[in-house]
Structure 1
Amino acid sequence: MLKIAIQKSGRLYEDSVKLLKECGIELNNGNKQLKTVAFNFPLEVYFLRDDDIPQYVYDGVADIGIVGENVLLEKNKDIELLYRLGFGRCRLSIAVPKAMKYDSVNDLKGLKIATTYSGMLQQYLAEKKVDAEIHEISGSVEIAPGIGLADAICDLVSSGSTLFTNGLKEVETILQSEAVLVTNKKLPEEKKTILQKLLLRINAVKTAKNNKYILLNAPNHQLGNIFKLLPGMKSPTVVNLAEEGWSSVQSVVNENDFWDVIEKLKQFEAEGIIVIPIEKMIV
């Protein structure tokens, strides 16, 4: 049985549970249990505070965990980052009052900075050779300048709306963060086998999200140009149409390249382009 720790509430909880379900793992977490066992996969799930997950994985109480990269780096435990999961994206940034004149990181010298992430902030300031006072607090960091507790803050930022509401502006980014899968480095071989099965499923789900399946009709004299755009997993699938000189082409396109590819396909006389989401993609 593989034991995984995920956030019991907060910004990573829903996406973590959704990922496990997309991997075909059925959970019953009725009444907000702190521990549950999957029905159809050898997996036991612990629901914990985000800040506690690195310690639980390091101690071997949990074998693996899903945690924010910002927490992983701040806690600095000797555990392994296995997989970047692509959700829960945010950044750890320094913000100052809007009215403050700010030209460079040197303007932070001598200021008092409130944060929950004192370790990463201290490292960043040391790298920049900036001498500032770090005031460690937990929760509601953004109000610190407004009540006179600090001159600036270092906190997680997603949209920036919370900073704006509290009269702050973002001036330095310390870290781009997302949810990551981590593991204890001393995992027994039998648990490594289960983990590899889980990773196969996670990779199939994440790869599918990053790609689209497309079908189109095109004149045969343009197929060479289209094949260069649509390599697919090995090569496109081509089927002759009833209309002479035309073919149906089926392939896979990366999400990041999608619209550029579509525009070029139109230039190569492609018609009837159909785009289909991919549920799972095993490469």
Structure 2
Amino acid sequence: MDNIIRIAVQKSGRLSDDSLSLIKECGIKFYNGTGKLKSTATNFPIEFLFLRDDDIPGYVADGVADIGIVGENEMVEKDKQVTVVKKLGFSKCRLSLAIPKSKHYQNLQDFQGASIATSYPKILQQFLDKNKIKADIHEISGSVEIAPSIGLADAICDIVSSGSTLMMNGLKEVEEIFKSEAVLISHQNLSTEKQDILERLLFRINAVQTGKNNKYLLLNAPNDSLQEIVSLIPGMKSPTILPLAEEGWSSVHAVVNEDRFWEVIENLRAAGAQGILVVPIEKMVI
């Protein structure tokens, strides 16, 4: 079916929630009731497969799914032949080495000859080889944090978000070895028709994410300070300037990136800007 694209999405968890939220913000309507493993959008040529996250790279590589949203850690660990289309910027986490809180830690050499439990043996082995560390890797799936307390391993290598799970299991994070976020991946040989649908989806994703990363700014500026105020606004293009009913004043409209927002606002106030309004942007096409 070249007139529809099939996307693999994690069936539950934070990555699933973030992925489906993004797709819905793209204006794509679908039903994903509890336990549902397959769904078709009603207003866009896309079909959903709800899968385990570690199965997604394989499904995409084999062409069962055309595209997928998966954690970068799973993509690298599975090492399947897929194409990274876009890093999505959400569901960020890190893969780290952790040891019991009671143990003193100096440096990576402490892992020389140690036994390490992990669900990510490939990424861990690459890190150890890079740092010339020889350790015994125990591959286990799930409940990695319990390994040191039951004597299975000296340390663990696992995904960390807040670090609270490590603390609850008497562990401390000592080395970050890999940073991960959600990525959009695709089969390496999409048909022209499916590639066109993917480009349409990317257009919507970019519009949503660009909107989230920017704010719409409206302010009143005295004309004698107008040039200075305009120079302080790092907009995409020249801001819109409209005369106000009150003589000697103008209204300035611009887009400001979220990362520089507070710095820009402070500078604008110091330059004489008044009545500053900040409005969220739902979508932004550039």
Q: Same fold (TM over 0.5)?
A: yes
**Mean Cα deviation higher: 142-151 or 52-61:** 142-151
Q: What does residue 61 of structure 1 align with?
A: 64
Q: What does residue 203 of structure 1 align with?
A: 206
Q: What does residue 240 of structure 1 align with?
A: 243
Structure 1 position 86, deviation (Å): 1.3
Structure 1 position 229, deviation (Å): 2.2
CA distance in 1: counterparts of 2:81 and 2:210, whole angstroms? 28
1:34 to 8, 32, 37: 37
Structure 1 position 40, deviation (Å): 0.2
In angstroms, what is the RMSD of aligned CA positions?
0.9
CA distance in 1: counterparts of 2:34 and 2:167, whole angstroms? 36
Task: Tell me the secondary structure at the aligned position of residue 30 of structure 2.
Answer: coil
Q: After TM superposition, list the pairs within 5 Å mapping 1:1-283 onto structure 2.
A: 1-283=4-286
CA distance in 1: counterparts of 2:78 and 2:62, whole angstroms? 13
Q: Which amino acid aligns with 1:118?
A: P
CA distance in 1: counterparts of 2:75 and 2:112, whole angstroms? 27
CA distance in 2: counterparts of 1:120 and 1:149, whole angstroms? 20
CA distance in 1: counterparts of 2:58 and 2:232, whole angstroms? 47
Task: Tell me the secondary structure at the aligned position of residue 159 of structure 1.
Answer: coil
CA distance in 1: counterparts of 2:70 and 2:13, whole angstroms? 11
Deviations 1:36-89 (A, max 9, x none): 110000001100000000000000000000000000010111111111111111
CA distance in 2: counterparts of 1:210 and 1:107, whole angstroms? 42
CA distance in 2: counterparts of 1:82 and 1:226, whole angstroms? 39
Q: Which amino acid aligns with 2:148?
A: P
CA distance in 1: counterparts of 2:213 and 2:105, whole angstroms? 39
CA distance in 1: counterparts of 2:275 and 2:227, whole angstroms? 18
Task: Tell me the secondary structure at the aligned position of residue 183 of structure 2.
Answer: strand
CA distance in 2: counterparts of 1:9 and 1:25, whole angstroms? 19
Question: Unaligned 5+ residue runs, structure 2?
Answer: none
Question: Unaligned 5+ residue runs, structure 1?
Answer: none
CA distance in 1: counterparts of 2:7 and 2:90, whole angstroms? 18
Structure 1 position 219, deviation (Å): 1.0
CA distance in 2: counterparts of 1:229 and 1:55, whole angstroms? 49
Structure 1 position 232, deviation (Å): 2.2
CA distance in 2: counterparts of 1:173 and 1:35, whole angstroms? 36
Q: Percent identity?
A: 62
CA distance in 2: counterparts of 1:233 and 1:105, whole angstroms? 45
CA distance in 2: counterparts of 1:165 and 1:130, whole angstroms? 28
CA distance in 2: counterparts of 1:142 and 1:177, whole angstroms? 19
Deviations 1:212-271 (A, max 9, x none): 111111111222222222242311011111122111111111111111111111111111
Structure 1 position 133, deviation (Å): 0.7
Structure 1 position 33, deviation (Å): 1.4
CA distance in 2: counterparts of 1:132 and 1:214, whole angstroms? 55
CA distance in 2: counterparts of 1:221 and 1:113, whole angstroms? 67
Q: Which amino acid aligns with 1:97?
A: P
**Alignment size in residue pairs:** 283
Task: Tell me the secondary structure at the aligned position of residue 214 of structure 1.
Answer: strand
Structure 1 position 204, deviation (Å): 0.3
